[in-house]
Chains A and B, each alone.
Chain A
Amino acid sequence: MSPAIEVEHLTRRFGAFTAVNDVSFSVGAGEIFGYLGANGAGKSTTIRMLCGLLKPTGGHARVAGHDVGHEPERVKERIGYMSQRFSLYLDLTVRANLEFFAAAYGAHGRELERRIGEMLERMQLTPVQDEVTGSLPGGMQQRVALASAVLHRPRIVFLDEPTAGVDPVQRRSFWALIRELAAGGTTVFVTTHYMDEAEYCARIGIMVDGRLVALDTPEGLKRTHAPGRVLEVRGPNLAPALDALRGEPGVLDVSRFGAGATVRVDPERLSGEALGRWLRARGVDPLELEESAPTLDDVFLALTAGAQRGED
């Protein structure tokens, strides 16, 4: 089976600014593909090109078997799109919104009624179907937006920061819905800047300044870009000692924040206890010293810091 999304050397320039620079990847059918990056890194521009909203200025992309530059209309029939703004008619009821978007994809009559009924059940929106959408809490609006995006049963659904501004409980249940979609065979392409959410993805691409700098499974990314163990250090007056720590044998990276730092170490050469002894030998006593496995946050920090150093 051919991949759901195939991107080759995709580029988008706005004047002298290159928003997306020579990006290539492919996403398999039924995969949950995460797209990570800081604001302005080129995530939304990529999604907009893949949805046929924006023409690429270089390279090409095939979505659901059709070229986005040449056959955007074909692509649009086969995909769903949900933006972080939830883009619903807030002055209409939930049902009216679903009716409108279903009809925009050509559904009508009994088929339309049946699909809306099913979708309301699945998204647990049946009790609020006649409420005005704008009066609902954010989490429910988010589910209405997802329902409108998948009502026509697209093969691929693009979610552009779908959980922005939604509380953690709602985010969790939203991800359960996304996994359910993927289990049903729908390909999910999702951008986020919540690293905990990225862990749910089968594979993750990381964008920095318009370039795709890494692409792998969450585990693979951690192995490659944030190897070793992570030591969280907290305490007063640590700054000078931590600065001196850089370059010590076994220290891979030091990222300082507030009254502490994250120190990534090679566990073969430097343990948490050894770091404690090292700090005390320099006259500072860390109040807290915790050892943990690296997270995607560490991967992201390592990659963005690398890019910044590359620029300097």
Chain B
Amino acid sequence: MHPLVVQYRAVVVKEVRQTVRDKRVLVLLTLVPLIQLFVLGFAVNFDVRHVPTAVVDRDGTVESREYARTLLAGDTLDLKAEAHDEQTAEALVERGEASVALVFPQDFQEDVLRGSGARVQALVDGSDPVRSGVAADAVARHAAQRVDRLIQEDARARGETRPRPAVELVPRVLYNPELTTAVYVVPGIVAMLLLIVTTIIMAMGLARERETGTLEQLQVTPLKPVILMAGKVTPFVLIGLVDVGLALGVGAWVFGVPLRGNPALVALATLLYVLCTLGVGLLIATLSRTQQQAFVGGFLFMLPAVLLSGVLTSVRAMPDWLAWVTYLNPIRYYVEVLRGSLLKSAGLGDLWLQVVLLGVFGTAVMTVAARRFHKTTA
């Protein structure tokens, strides 16, 4: 056997033995990502339902009651309380007991019947923009429908058979027809968990070798830094692939994430992505003296990396200069591949650029890490 193969195998075996022996690391590598996926899949939910609503009906007529009943019939808004005046309603919103308050003025029905511009007031708690946006949208949509119906009733009363309005918007949502957040979020969480697990494990593992002096012991052996790095990375690349498989399994089973794309493409992208994250871990390790520094360094990298990836927020919502930064972020490309492949069954033809960029980034960061590693050791 070639000495390089002997050395490479020795490092892989050693890493596996250490990982298997340390039950905490083993749990961190397998169970924790799944639990987090489970928890985050449910917690990171942009679906807005059951918004508590207070109603102040100062009119108390058939028209106002009917208006409130139909508005509250959907599952976006739930009736939480009925108040007699605006002050009470505002207090409810302020205390957080209601997020929306509807106020019908005294002459609501009369104004409607007279056609002289009836007004409904909606007080919306804006402290949660996503929630208030959806709630306000529901109120507005309902008002429009109501107006449309009034126009038609009016026309019918006058004996006209008036057609429905000339322009009607019929939205049809593709790929994620129910607009479930989980389907969109799960690929992002998979990328995030893989990042956390592999970066931290790699950075801490190497920092530990430096701290305990075994790295110095390795440096007096003929073991080449490249072989050492390759051997250290191998087990975690495999663990990364297994983690993604497990996470997508749970995603499909629990959250109904479709698995439409080509598994080979997902595996290839995962491989390149894990190379990126492990490379970053190694790079952090070469910049740290202790495990503690490596740990802190890992987090200092991961937080902005996740925020600037489009996993939790939309890249389109960022200011231009910040959006540019995301082009340097491998997480972004990996999530694009996952979403594209899983949800739209896009193939390599559509996602080749992302895959190539992942490869470029992975190679670059590994090279820099290897050079730094070589320098700090030689």
Tell me if B61 is interfacial: C-beta within 8 Å of chain A: no
Report whether B220 and A52 are in contact in the complex, using a CB–CB cutoff of 8 Å.
yes
Report the minimum CB–CB distance from A50 to chain B (whole Å).
10
Q: Which residues of B contact A72 (CB under 8 A)?
A: 378
Report whether B14 and A83 are in contact in the complex, using a CB–CB cutoff of 8 Å.
no
Report whether B14 and A85 are in contact in the complex, using a CB–CB cutoff of 8 Å.
no
Report whether B220 and A100 are in contact in the complex, using a CB–CB cutoff of 8 Å.
no
* Total inter-chain residue pairs, C-beta < 8 Å: 71
Tell me if A99 is interfacial: C-beta within 8 Å of chain B: yes
Report whether A104 and B212 are in contact in the complex, using a CB–CB cutoff of 8 Å.
no
**Which of A76, A86, A92, A99 is the one whose CB lies under 8 Å from B221?**
A76
Tell me if A288 is interfacial: C-beta within 8 Å of chain B: no
Q: Which residues of A contact B18 (CB under 8 A)?
A: 89, 91-92
Report whether A73 and B22 are in contact in the complex, using a CB–CB cutoff of 8 Å.
no
A79 to B7, CA, bound (A): 17
Report the minimum CB–CB distance from A43 to chain B (whole Å).
15
Residues of chain A in range 235-283 having any CB-CB distance to chain B below 8 Å: none
Nearest B residue (CB) for A107: B6
Mask, B137-166, CB within 8 Å of A = 1, is: 000000000000000000000000000000
Mask, B247-286, CB within 8 Å of A = 1, is: 0000000000000000000000000000000000000000
Q: Which residues of A contact B177 (CB under 8 A)?
A: none
Tell me if B45 is interfacial: C-beta within 8 Å of chain A: no
Report whether B222 and A83 are in contact in the complex, using a CB–CB cutoff of 8 Å.
no
Mask, A80-103, CB within 8 Å of B = 1, is: 010101111111100010011101
A104 to B219, CA, bound (A): 10
Residues of chain B in range 190-231 having any CB-CB distance to chain A below 8 Å: 212-214, 216-223
A105 to B222, CA, bound (A): 6
Q: Which residues of A contact B218 (CB under 8 A)?
A: 104
Indicate the size class of the contact surface on chain A: 20 to 34
Tell me if B353 is interfacial: C-beta within 8 Å of chain A: no
A108 to B216, CA, bound (A): 23
Report whether B6 and A81 are in contact in the complex, using a CB–CB cutoff of 8 Å.
no
Total B residues in contact with A, Cβ cutoff 8 Å: 25
Q: Which residues of B contact A100 (CB under 8 A)?
A: 10-11, 13-14
A141 to B13, CA, bound (A): 21
Q: Using A104-B7, A104-B221 as known contacts, say yes or no to A88 and B214 having CB atoms under 8 A apart.
A: yes
Tell me if B95 is interfacial: C-beta within 8 Å of chain A: no
Tell me if A106 is interfacial: C-beta within 8 Å of chain B: yes
Nearest A residue (CB) for B8: A103
Mask, B312-327, CB within 8 Å of A = 1, is: 0000000000000000
**Which of A55, A79, A104, A109 is the one whose CB lies under 8 Å from B10?**
A104
In the A-B complex, the 10 residue pairs with the closest CB atoms: A103-B10, A87-B217, A106-B3, A87-B213, A85-B213, A81-B220, A104-B221, A108-B6, A104-B223, A100-B14
A-B residue pairs in contact (CB < 8 Å), sample of 25: A51-B220, A53-B220, A55-B378, A73-B222, A76-B220, A76-B221, A77-B222, A79-B220, A83-B216, A83-B217, A86-B213, A87-B214, A91-B21, A91-B22, A96-B14, A99-B13, A101-B217, A103-B9, A103-B10, A104-B222, A105-B222, A106-B7, A107-B6, A108-B6, A132-B21
